[in-house]
Structures are given as C-alpha cells and as structure tokens.
Amino acid sequence: MKPLQELTRPNIWALAPYSSARNEYAGREARVFLDANENPYNGPYNRYPDPLQLEVKTAVSKVKGVPVECIFLGNGSDEAIDLPYRCFCRPGVDNVVAIEPTYGMYKVCADINDVEYRPVLLDEQFQISADRLLAACDEHTKLIWLCSPNNPTGNNLLREEMVKVINGFEGIVIVDEAYSDFSSQQTLRSELGKYPNLIVLNTMSKAWGCAAIRMGMAFASKEIIDLFNKVKYPYNVNLLTQRQALEALKDPFEVDKWVRMLNLERGRMIEAFAMLPICQKVYPTEANFFLAKMDDAQKTYDYLVDLGIIVRNRSRIQLCKDCLRITIGTKSENSELIAALRQFE
Ligand SMILES: *Cc1c(COP(=O)(O)O)cnc(C)c1O
C-alpha cells in the first residue's frame, strides 16, 4: 500500500474539520448545556446527538468483533460508499476499478464525484480474476470495489482472488459484505489487522431488518476511519436511528433466527424455480436473494407486476440477460410467487 497521505486528496489531508460545540469540552462531566444554541425544552430530541455515536459503536464492536476506533457509522452504506471517493479521488484525475456486474451505487457515486469508473467483467461463473482487475489499474487508480456475496449475482467471490487483489494493489480495496450474514464464507472483517488498505462494508438494511433507519458501517484501520470522521457531516446519524440501532443490536439472536429461516426458504425457492418450465437456470447464491434466468424475463416480470408481485428485472445488465433477481420473503409471500409462476404460460 502507498502511504495514506499519498492516496488522500491533498485538500482532505489538510482539512481542518468542523468542530462542533459538543466536541470541545471533552472529558469532563457536564450538567448545563448552554453551548450549542439548542432549545432547552422538548427533550430528548432538543439536543444534538453524539457526532461519533460511541454508544452504538460499542454495541457494534461487540457484535462484529471490531475495535470501536476501527468503526465508521453512516447514513446507510450509501454514505460509506460515497466517502472513499470524497477522501481519495481527485475529480477528473483519479479513477476506480470495480467488478461488473455489481451494486449500482459504486458507479453512481463515481459519476457524482466526476471520477472515472472502470468496470471489469466477471467470468461466466460470476467470478473475479485478480490479475484482470489489477491489469485495469494505473497510477491514478485509488479504489477497487468488490462485493461478496455479490449483488445481483448472489455468489461469493473467491477468497484467494480477493486476497490477491488486496495484497497486489497499492490503493484501497473496498469489500462490500452487505449480505455476509446469509453466507457461509468467513468475513474479511476479522482480518482487518492484516490488510491496512482494506475497507469492509456492512449494513443494518438486510439481515438486521432495519432498512428504514438508514445505518451502514465501514470497518477499516483507525487511520482510514479518522479520515472518514473528518469528512462526514458532523451529525450524520440522527438520534432516532442511533436509538433504534441500539435496540436491534441488543438481540443478535433474533437476527440469527431470521437468517436461518430465510436461508431455509431460499433452498425451497431455488428448488421450486428450477422446476418451472419458464426458468432456464438458477444461479448459486449465498445471499437473501437469487438470480434466475428465464425464457423471457420481461414477460414474466410484467405478468407478476399485474398481480401486485414485484421482483427485480436485471435483464439489461451485463451477463444477466433474461435474469430476474428474487428476494426471499416470508414463507407465504414466497409461496404466492411460486403459485403465480406455476399458472403462467
Ligand atoms: C442493499 C445493499 C447495501 C445496503 O445499502 P444501505 O445504504 O446500507 O441500505 C449495500 N451494498 C449492497 C451491495 C447492497 O445490495
């Protein structure tokens, strides 16, 4: 890895971050808060929330096994996807490399930040080649985006190839593990100590059942997290979200229960899809969704929409011609989808 200072945009490295009222008295017991121009009435929502969300991070740290100083919390993963661009990529100069197909937000954030996006096609098994990813890089490549299990394909990327990318790249590698709770593959989060150029993303939106509260996580070296904290909005995670996240994090066993149930249903759905005459192939998955190649994805999609059943049509995405992406729902929702498709001709 290049020195972090060399990877960081010079204006960001030199940035004096906004210092909020609540940062400045640190360390001492406080009782009377006349520092932030808040209204003293209407507690508890009258007060600014903790800008570094230490209580939530302490709970996240226990559940995820990562030290508090190596955790960033954001307004969804979206914020954690945008921040590496803002911290590392000079608009109009630097570029990033990513697997293709994958989650759409990496490219949207590249476009917003005026950063060149270099997609590298996966193979027919939706697998990566470290050599091909590294060959797409040049001296202006700051980030490589990986996603495992990948969206929309559902499969895990080969671990040896991911490690080869991390070890072989001088910049930052981001591995989005939004779906890792559903997967048997060991998370890279536990190996952050080995890889100073690795950022691992998680979210409360999928297995944790909290898409509405908007809370995403990034795990990385303290140096990278410090950089994110400098650039983020001071109060990026609101108090309602922090409270609800704390509630959810109290009960990881509930999440395990959901995951077991959803993974069982995933097995049932894959079998049922494979039997449908209109389904050509179901791709292997370790996420809470699967990709199915249909005879005519658009026709099937339209038929389902008319019945009020919405799946994701991914047929216009590279390597995904005529593919639908199906999220695993409740047992009865899943059964309704299968019943509808059995009636379709
Ligand atoms: C759903 C998803 C996320 C979650 O995004 P949030 O902003 O945290 O809701 C992140 N990455 C991938 C690949 C996803 O599919």
Please give the full DSSP string across 115-139, using - where no structure is assigned: -EEEEEE--TTS---HHHHHHT--T
pLDDT attached to residue 25: 76
Per-residue three-class SS string for 168-199: HCCCEEEEECCCHHHCCCCCHHHHHHHCCCEE
As a whole number of angstroms, the distance between CA 85 and CA 78 comes to 12
As a whole number of angstroms, the distance between CA 278 and CA 227 comes to 50
Tokens representing 258 are: 């959901």
Other Cβ atoms within 10 Å of 316 Cβ, number: 10
Say which amino acid occupies 170: E
As a whole number of angstroms, the distance between CA 257 and CA 152 comes to 24
pLDDT attached to residue 116: 98
Tokens representing 55 are: 């209580």
pLDDT attached to residue 224: 98
DSSP letters spanning 52-93: T-HHHHHHHHHHHT--GGGEEEESHHHHHHHHHHHHHPPTTT
As a whole number of angstroms, the distance between CA 278 and CA 33 comes to 65
User: What DSSP designation does 49 have?
Assistant: P
Tokens representing 107 are: 């490219």
| Residues within a 6 A CB radius of ligand 1 | 76-78, 103, 147, 151, 176, 178, 203, 205-206, 211, 216
Distance from Cα 190 to the centre of ligand 1, integer Å: 20
CA-CA-CA-CA torsion sign (281, 283, 289, 291): negative
Helices (H), 179-278: 222-231, 239-249, 252-275
Q: Please answer whether residues 71 and 63 qualify as being in contact, where contact means their C-beta atoms are separated by less than 8 angstroms.
A: no
Q: Which pTM value belongs to this model?
A: 0.97
pLDDT tens, the chain, 345 aa long: 999 999 999 999 999 988 887 777 776 788 999 999 999 999 999 999 999 999 999 999 999 999 999 999 999 999 999 999 999 999 999 999 999 999 999 999 999 999 999 999 999 999 999 999 999 999 999 999 999 999 999 999 999 999 999 999 999 999 999 999 999 999 999 999 999 999 999 999 999 999 999 999 999 999 999 999 999 999 999 999 999 999 999 999 999 999 999 999 999 999 999 999 999 999 999 999 999 999 999 999 999 999 999 999 999 999 999 999 999 999 999 999 999 999 997
Tokens representing 298 are: 């658009």
Angle between helices 76-88 and 105-112 (to 10 degrees): 40
Please give the biggest Cα pair distance in the chain.
71
114: left (phi over 0), alpha (psi -120 to 50) or beta: left
Atom of ligand 1 nearest to the CA of 203: 8
pLDDT attached to residue 251: 94
pLDDT attached to residue 28: 78
Testing ligand 1's pocket by substitution, the residue of 126, 205, 208 carrying the most ligand atoms inside 8 A of its CB is 205
Nearest CA to ligand 1 atom 3: 178
Nearest CA to ligand 1 atom 2: 178
Distance from Cα 215 to the centre of ligand 1, integer Å: 10
Distance from Cα 29 to the centre of ligand 1, integer Å: 38
